[in-house]
Amino acid sequence: MKETVIKTDQLSKRFGSFIAVDAISFEVQKGEIFGFLGANGAGKTTAMRMLCGLSVPSSGTAAIAGFDIYKKTEEIKRNIGYMSQKFSLYEDLTVLENISFFAGIYGLSNSAIKEKSEALITRLGLQKEVKKLVGELPLGWKQKLSFSVAVLHEPKIVFLDEPTGGVDPVTRRQFWDLIYEASEKGITVFVTTHYMDEAEYCDRISIMVDGRISALDSPSALKTQFKAATMDEVFYELARGAKRGD
Amino acid sequence: MQLPAVDDVSFEVKKGELFGLIGPDGAGKTSIFRILTTLLLAEHGSAWVDGFEVIRDYREIRKIVGYMPGKFSLYPDLTVAENLNFFATVFGTTVKDNYELIKDIYVQIEPFKDRRAGKLSGGMKQKLALCCALIHKPSVLFLDEPTTGVDPVSRKEFWEMLNRLRMQGITILVSTPYMDEATRCDRIALLHNGKILSIDTPENMIKSYPEQLYAIKADQMYLLIKSLRKYPEVLDCYAFGEYAHVSFKIPFEEYLLEAYLGAEGLSGIEIKPTAATIEDYFIKLLKT
């Protein structure tokens, strides 16, 4: 049975006369890896902030993990995980302190924190680094740790905002292994990226242009639809018509 | 633990070349640029830019280089035109004198010439920053990650602008974390943890890839990769767009591999030889 974890209907956000997000409607299923693409300024960040319960929509409806986007924002925040390239972990706390801190924020019990942090540290091979400050870790490790912390409370959905920007190609792929593992456990992954090869790793992708969703399908269906050999060409075909930049 | 940001780096760039420093965040790209533009002192070693030594002749170097830092560094409360005039004046020239050089780029932002730079979109800021770095007709142009965080359409446009500048004879050093941009350069240095792993033309790097690579596709990428990693003849395997890129320890039988993948539960299997890319080459270097 399919279970819908994100459902939006005509969701919009206006700032004065500027329509940042213009009536977007889509659904994402449980365990799906959903790529959320778009040119700079297309409205991705604004849309994502609404879906995370951080910004009140101007009109339209949406339910995230079954919770209404207007009335149940606190429940939404408890049922999602979030990481971005900019904000991830506290640099001046150690690896273990960061894990305990975020697990505590999400209300995990002390015994659950202990058990989960041990599993996480083993999975990432960070046994020797547990007492190191996160600021001393290489960027790639930080990003992998940050993702693992974002899914530690087993959220229904994890939102990833350009999680692999600037990361080396080997680490980038290790990061995607973590995404696949989370998806196999039933966690829905909602991810933005500027790497078009990563768009191929998603089950389905949407491409936003000027506040609207211009295309939404699996990567192979989109390539067929736009008679393109690569996702890069699909993106180019759609986004070159964009009227606005960021 | 103290790690050197730039570790024993030696390279030469020829006049008129478009030279790329390619590597992830923390590889040392920005530090190298800051040393060469005389904004940071190296602990040891030496460097020359257009015949001038970076410590002794720093005043000369500052006159002849154009530098576009990764972070937007123009005056946000001056307009587009005011910023451009300011930079021209500081370098003792006028916008009119060197207008030919920036014309192609400037016409795209000219409709907004009275807008404050802080109010421009990301793409417009980038174009203005490039104009300001060019307005004194530098002999060497340093561009630090001009395309980071920029969508693929704007990235493509930016590289087309660089190509036109190269045609005009300006030497350009550009850094990027995007491996697919490497082939746009005449020569590249691959950087990681402050060291140059390799330096050559993109074509030569691709040619020197030691194994035959195969592109393998199936209906489920993660299962495909997990299955291939268990296959004894596989040397390395990783996702690469819609395909997995795979190298083998010994020649393999295609029908056996296909049967194995089918038994693992995969369908829609496609196996074909493929050419290595700079990204494959970089992955190889990181793993050896």
| Count of structural domains, chain B | 2
What are all long-range contacts of A94-97, with beta carbons under 8 Å and residues at least 24 apart?
A94/A130, A94/A131, A94/A132, A94/A133, A94/A134, A95/A121, A95/A126, A95/A129, A95/A130, A95/A131, A95/A132, A95/A134, A95/A137, A95/A145, A96/A121, A96/A130, A96/A131
- Cα–Cα distances (Å) from A163 to A48, A81, A140, B44, B95, in that order, read 14, 13, 10, 36, 41
Set of chain A residues whose Cβ sits within 8 Å of the Cβ of B240: 197
- Residue B261 in contact with residue B269, Cβ under 8 Å? yes
Of B183, B206, B229, which marks where a domain is finished? B206
Encode pLDDT of A204-236 as tens digits: 999 999 999 999 999 999 999 999 999 999 998
Set of chain A residues whose Cβ sits within 8 Å of the Cβ of B286: 168-170
Query: Are residues B201 and B283 part of one domain?
Result: no
Which chain B residues in 202-241 lie under 8 Å from chain A, judged by CB atoms? 221-222, 225, 238-241
Query: What is the domain-level CATH number for residue B227?
Result: 3.30.70.100
SS3 call for B92: coil
CB pair distance less than 8 Å for B24 and A167: yes
Q: Work out the pLDDT band at B4, boundaries 50, 70, 90.
A: confident
- Dist. CA A133–CA B62, nearest whole Å: 38
Q: Which of A136, A166, A183 sits opposite B177 (nearest CB)?
A: A166
SS3 call for B125: helix
| Structural domain that includes position B259 | 209-287
With pLDDT > 90 as the criterion, what percentage of chain B qualifies? Answer: 88
B69 part of a folded domain:
yes
> Average pLDDT in the A156-170 region?
93
B1 part of a folded domain:
no
Chain B closest CA to A246's CA: distance in Å?
5
How large is the C-alpha radius of gyration of chain A? 18
For the stretch B32-56, what's the b/e string if a residue is b when 16 or more beta carbons lie within 10 angstroms of its beta carbon? bbbbbbbeeebeeeebebeebebee
* B108: alpha, beta or left? (left if phi > 0; alpha if psi -120 to 50): alpha
SS3 call for A104: helix
Query: Are residues B242 and B202 part of one domain?
Result: no
**B44 at the A interface (CB within 8 A)?**
no
B3 part of a folded domain:
no
**B279 at the A interface (CB within 8 A)?**
yes
B267 part of a folded domain:
yes
Query: Are residues B260 and B141 part of one domain?
Result: no
For residue B169, how many C-alpha atoms fall within 13 Å in the half-sphere facing its CB?
3
**B167 at the A interface (CB within 8 A)?**
no
CB pair distance less than 8 Å for A219 and B286: no
Of B206, B223, B258, which marks where a domain is finished? B206
Query: Are residues B153 and B86 part of one domain?
Result: yes
Tokens representing residue A239 in the block: 């986004």
Of B147, B182, B206, which marks where a domain is finished? B206
Set of chain A residues whose Cβ sits within 8 Å of the Cβ of B1: 136
Domain ranges in chain A are 89-154
Query: Are residues B255 and B189 part of one domain?
Result: no
Amino acid identity for residue B261 in this structure: L
How large is the C-alpha radius of gyration of chain B? 23
Query: Are residues B188 and B100 part of one domain?
Result: yes
Angle at A188 between CA B283 and CA A201, to 5 degrees: 30
Q: Which residue of B has its CA nearest to A85?
A: B149
Q: What number of H helices and E strands is found in chain B? A: 10, 12
Stated as kind and residue range, the H or E segment containing B141 is: strand B140-143
Report whether pLDDT(B124) > 70.
yes
- Dist. CA B138–CA B115, nearest whole Å: 26
SS3 call for A182: helix
Encode pLDDT of B140-194 as tens digits: 999 999 988 788 888 888 999 999 999 999 999 999 999 999 999 999 999 999 9
A204: how many CB neighbours lie within 10 A of its CB? Answer: 18
A122: how many CB neighbours lie within 10 A of its CB? Answer: 10
Query: Are residues B264 and B180 part of one domain?
Result: no
Query: Are residues B123 and B38 part of one domain?
Result: yes
Q: Helix B254-263 to helix B221-230 angle, to the nearest 10 degrees?
A: 120
Query: Are residues B259 and B175 part of one domain?
Result: no
Report whether pLDDT(B1) > 60.
no
Q: Work out the pLDDT band at A246, boundaries 50, 70, 90.
A: low
> Average pLDDT in the B19-38 region?
96
pLDDT at residue A53 in the model = 94
- Residue A179 in contact with residue A33, Cβ under 8 Å? yes
Task: Provide the pairing of β-strand A59-64 with A4-15.
Answer: antiparallel
Q: Which of A138, A173, A184 sits opposite B238 (nearest CB)?
A: A173
Query: What is the domain-level CATH number for residue B102?
Result: 3.40.50.300
Query: Are residues B180 and B97 part of one domain?
Result: yes
Residue of B222, B224, B282, B288 to mutate, interface with A, max A Cβ within 10 Å: B222
B30 part of a folded domain:
yes
pLDDT at residue B155 in the model = 87
Query: Are residues B264 and B218 part of one domain?
Result: yes
- Dist. CA A120–CA A105, nearest whole Å: 17
> Average pLDDT in the A3-30 region?
97
Which sign does the torsion angle of CA B10, B15, B20, B25 carry? positive
Q: Work out the pLDDT band at A139, boundaries 50, 70, 90.
A: confident
Query: Are residues B255 and B198 part of one domain?
Result: no
Q: Work out the pLDDT band at A1, boundaries 50, 70, 90.
A: low
Residues comprising chain A, all counted: 246
